[in-house]
Amino acid sequence: MESSLAWHPRGASDNPPRAAEEERWRLLDDRGQWPAFTRALDPPAEGDAGASARWESHFLVEGMHCAACAFQIEAALGGLPGVQRVDVDARSQRLRLRWQAGETRPSLWLQ
């Protein structure tokens, strides 16, 4: 299976050098980038700054062609700490992920 998540932070080029790819994925952990791919499902608790809030993220998964690919992605991401729900649609190549901010970081999903 040769799939990849497509996401480009604001201001990034479409074809960054390979060496800069890890840095680009770490940008996902910046809460300032979250509105580009995520929405809060819960309002942040008082004095919490959103650390315990649940979030829902949406991605395009390039290179996914069949239900078996979708199942493998769901199984891999669903086993990560802090990930509460994973829905993958092979036909539309879309991924929806519900997660707990205090238990995971978005960059971990790409490793």
Mean pLDDT of 41-50: 68
Q: Can you give the pTM of this predicted structure?
A: 0.71
User: Rounded to an integer, what distance in angstroms lies between the CA atom of residue 95 and that of residue 76?
Assistant: 13
pLDDT band of residue 10 (cuts 50, 70, 90) is very low
As a dihedral over the C-alpha atoms of residue 69, residue 71, residue 77, residue 82, rounded to 10 degrees, the angle is 160
β-partners of residue 100 are 54
Nearest CA among 55, 63, 59 for reference residue 85 = 55
Position 11 pLDDT exceeds 50: no
What's the pLDDT tens digit per position in 59-101? 998 888 899 999 999 999 999 999 999 999 999 999 999 999 8
